[in-house]
Structure 1
């Protein structure tokens, strides 16, 4: 077992790193690891019983963390989704799928069992991707989670009914269902009692000790103990873990528990996906690829369409409906167990079971890609719905404006500027490419419009040629530069004020036509520094003069910073940050006896911020001769700083 784990973890380390570089979902990477290491490919890992049992804990931890998010009051509020939408989804998808299976030659009983089984979706994939995308509490996310909870209960019922319907026991099916439901209710009320009276005291005592190790141990014991008790009752361990998490969802320690559980959840969930990949024989794709592809598309389209129609019938908007359909369209991991047991009991032939397993695997493999593509598709559809006759609509609202302000980007900064303009009774018109934000703002403000500010026709429609000022408040510097270029073509003398994160591309924006560029980080630094100086007793006029002098010098004094041990040497665009670094010159340093002009550090992309001699700052002119003991403060990216240090100390770069 230890050897298998070592091989799986080592292979996962390489494959997941590669998938991150390719910007592909990690779930696909784990599935590929299982496919490569499994018995049908390299056969480096033995698929014994202990591996899937350990991997199942990944789903247990996932459902526990989801339960922490969905506290009992929230679940009560979602009861119509869980039992209403869930029931409709299972029946509306399961019965047509069962009819199709009967067309393929299956008898009624196994067709109904497998049809209902195929109607269930992958809790592991959907839960993990919704958490990764931050969409658990979006309308379609709540639909998906609610339905998945109901599906877990249905999965338990199906596994209970399978031996009864296969003739392996004399127990009546309705009695088996009643016993399962009774066990579920007993588990629910038992966990409710424990979470109300016992667990809060336990967590309080452990918190008093202030030991992170004890807190982690308690969280692990709760998850594993709940799963074990649920397993003893013959129920789904994942369902029990969800109920336990839900009971702790109102606890003050919820966030700490979630943070402690997350590393175990992610690794074990990855192991689960590896075991799923190991079940697939890739040779079958070469032999029956057409059939597998057809079954996969049929499953995805049928389930996705039916779930979308159900969501619309229940009153959800179009976007929520189709995104719910995308989230739940795939087959689920439960089907692997159901198909295997149906084959063992003679309800399903081996050829049919292998085709079904391959189709379910393929639907699960493409599901992360579909879930990650859905937000982009939703944005594109929203834009398409808002782009009809945009220029005409904007032009009609701005035709009477003159001497107004055009704001490009109506996020937090743009809205703050707009409110101040309103206080001074200055007219403005704003453009933003976020349809939800525009829809929210348009409810109270008639001068906010949807549109891409880079489009010259929309800038012209906003009356840019008649405006007194253009404010570019977008968060993307590339977009800001494009807006400035488009506006400058329309109006050669229009003052353009640009907001940026920092000053890394200040000269580029000014070259494009920006009149003033305001770097947020540096301006906030100046604001704090000016308040500090005033509080220290310096005259207001002197402080303002110093701040103005720094601005006129393009924030040269503030360029670069000393990085720490945890500092990131790359900015958000992946470009090297400008850093500060002090170099102390020893007696035999190359720079001693030479001036700054001769050293020409600017040729290396460096800026000399100052020179200190015996702790006293000197006026750093080009003619300043450097001496032993001087400290030269340089600013530049890491590569330039290393070259500059080599030049100052050895004369070589």
Structure 2
């Protein structure tokens, strides 16, 4: 068991990180900057170059890598294999061109600055790589990950992750060539072939397990109903795949992305995303803070003019080169600039490549420190420049809108996301979605019944396995981007909870709700839903209209009668909701609502009568008839007892009498 002293030594760093995040991020969001910048600055302040509140930044950095891993897993979940295949031109064409061109230009600048060719090549490659975590976070904050330029930016990031294993294998060859050891080519080629074989074997194993094992595995866990086990299984799959990829020489982020791709077609992918999201957010913030802590304050103070000049030059060169390549591959000007801005900061792998280059003797200690500080500063300055560019573009689009010009078509691309979120795909939701499908309205369906989700796959909808009463599930399903939420669950409490969440968190989204019964409809009306309907009301009215036609009425007369009943029913429902009727008055007093009993909307032509003694006994009709006789007399006869002995029944009948008189 851990001693109190061990607990005390463990908690201060955790509290320091949490305090830095809670203070730093809201401050930067309030001044209109990205959360990434808030984390980075918080890391600088608590790190060795600031207040030195964290004694071992390297330990935090190793834990924080898991945030990047989880981020890539969630990104993989959003990509289907078909979309990945359709992106092959951007991945292998644009991605390769970006890496080669940027590495050559930045490496050439290093040679001009006096570096050896090997050192300049490594530093050029390290700076040519882009920060996956920063870029994806910026795209997510903008809501542009599904846009055309966002997809191209992601394709570049994916190619960079794929190329890391080759770059790491290339560095020993550069080192041996630099030392004139030309005979090292044979062993190096053999080792490269062996590492490539191990990587391919591991990828094949992961693909086979993912294709044939993961869906049955998660289906079994979902049937158990233990939600925390699903979370544990998701973490097991992500971290296990990431570790396997790292063991064979690939990046952990690449392994997590592969796991996400394999689960992208699964019915459980959205539930997994909701379970992973809290871990991803916190650990990714820790990663950004660890980058801030890695900035060498002493070096910055010593050579700050050269360092900041190199930082601005590297960012501007990358923006110019990447924007030009985006234009070459079909982006418009605004999309190219935005894509280049998110890719401008140097990548996380710079902190892996540069220390390894120093160990191999490719770069000296001073050059390595300078390059690491430069990479970290690009991650610090890059989001600021991206935010400034966003403001300039938004201003330009605003002016264009005033001049009745259409905004960039590319920036609007990806708007084919779902317009309606349907929660519950049972017998009611299935009929509703048929109407939406017939009109071609894009729909996302949430349900936690695996059988219903399998049925939904035949409709071509976006399908989300999860509990619709959870805010994280609603967010992951994209509720913030839809116009309308249709709540079709058959659990009245769950429906009310969903309405409360939507109204509190997403006030601009309209709520259309299936009511279970009349009392549920009144509760929904009190919550100001945009539309509610009792699940059987319209079908029963249609049934009644058909019955009238079967009894000889013309279709027009039957429809008119049904419409009249519908209007009377709605009017009574509104009065009950307002507390204007006796059975609805509890609403105004704030008391628990009483049960709303069915009442005739048209005055009956004659009183009801039971047709047998058993029925009269069950309905208490003998007592009722006696009470009616007593109330009808001005006074009780001498030979009859006063009243009926049932004051409650007498009061009820007296109330009914006043209602008829009114």
Aligned-residue RMSD, C-alpha: 4.3
Deviation at 1:544, TM superposition (A): 7.9
Judge conservation of contact 1:64–1:242 (CA < 8 Å) in 2.
yes
What residue number does 2:307 align with? 292
Judge conservation of contact 2:65–2:287 (CA < 8 Å) in 1.
yes
From 195, 220, 232, the counterpart of 1:205: 220
Deviation at 1:31, TM superposition (A): 1.3
Unmatched runs of 5 consecutive residues or more in structure 1:
391-411, 413-474, 476-499, 503-520, 559-579, 585-653
Judge conservation of contact 1:227–1:240 (CA < 8 Å) in 2.
yes
What residue number does 1:279 align with? 294
What residue number does 2:277 align with? 262
Unmatched runs of 5 consecutive residues or more in structure 2:
1-8, 406-418, 420-482, 484-506, 510-526, 545-560, 580-586, 592-662
Deviation at 1:582, TM superposition (A): 5.9
Superposition pairs of residues 570-581 of structure 1, within 5 angstroms: none
Superposition pairs of residues 441-456 of structure 1, within 5 angstroms: none
What residue number does 1:81 align with? 90
Superposition pairs of residues 592-611 of structure 1, within 5 angstroms: none
- The answer to whether the aligner puts 1:2 opposite 2:17 as a matched pair is no
- The answer to whether the aligner puts 1:335 opposite 2:350 as a matched pair is yes
From 2, 12, 15, the counterpart of 2:21: 12
- The answer to whether the aligner puts 1:225 opposite 2:240 as a matched pair is yes
Residues 189-234 of structure 1: CA deviation (Å, up to 9, x unaligned): 2211111111111111111111101111111111111111112112
- The answer to whether the aligner puts 1:140 opposite 2:163 as a matched pair is no
Q: CA separation in 1, counterparts of 2:532 and 2:241?
A: 55
Structure with the higher helix share, 1 or 2 = 2
Judge conservation of contact 2:64–2:290 (CA < 8 Å) in 1.
yes
Judge conservation of contact 2:134–2:342 (CA < 8 Å) in 1.
no
Q: CA separation in 1, counterparts of 2:394 and 2:219?
A: 45
Q: Tell me the TM-score normalised to structure 2 length.
A: 0.59
Deviation at 1:388, TM superposition (A): 5.0
Aligned residues: 445
Judge conservation of contact 1:117–1:155 (CA < 8 Å) in 2.
no
Task: Give the direction of change, closer, same or farther, for the CA distance of 1:347–1:201 in structure 2 (3 Å limit).
Answer: same
Q: CA separation in 2, counterparts of 1:195 and 1:324?
A: 32
Deviation at 1:276, TM superposition (A): 0.9
Q: Tell me the TM-score normalised to structure 1 length.
A: 0.60
- The answer to whether the aligner puts 1:163 opposite 2:175 as a matched pair is no
Asked which structure has the greater RCO (Cα within 8 Å, sep 6+), the reply is 2
Q: CA separation in 1, counterparts of 2:87 and 2:590?
A: 63
Deviation at 1:337, TM superposition (A): 2.2
Task: Give the direction of change, closer, same or farther, for the CA distance of 1:525–1:300 in structure 2 (3 Å limit).
Answer: same
From 71, 80, 93, the counterpart of 1:62: 71
Task: Give the direction of change, closer, same or farther, for the CA distance of 1:21–1:323 in structure 2 (3 Å limit).
Answer: closer
Bigger CA radius of gyration: 2
From 150, 156, 159, the counterpart of 2:159: 150
Task: Give the direction of change, closer, same or farther, for the CA distance of 1:152–1:292 in structure 2 (3 Å limit).
Answer: same
Q: CA separation in 1, counterparts of 2:293 and 2:196?
A: 33
Deviation at 1:128, TM superposition (A): 2.0
Deviation at 1:36, TM superposition (A): 1.4
Judge conservation of contact 1:343–1:350 (CA < 8 Å) in 2.
yes
Q: Which moved more, 1:213-222 or 1:69-78?
A: 69-78
From 375, 381, 392, the counterpart of 1:360: 375
Q: CA separation in 2, counterparts of 1:525 and 1:298?
A: 57
What residue number does 1:37 align with? 46
Q: Which moved more, 1:370-379 or 1:322-331?
A: 370-379
From 214, 217, 226, the counterpart of 2:229: 214
Task: Give the direction of change, closer, same or farther, for the CA distance of 1:253–1:319 in structure 2 (3 Å limit).
Answer: same
Task: Give the direction of change, closer, same or farther, for the CA distance of 1:389–1:53 in structure 2 (3 Å limit).
Answer: closer
Task: Give the direction of change, closer, same or farther, for the CA distance of 1:581–1:377 in structure 2 (3 Å limit).
Answer: farther
Q: CA separation in 2, counterparts of 1:37 and 1:99?
A: 36
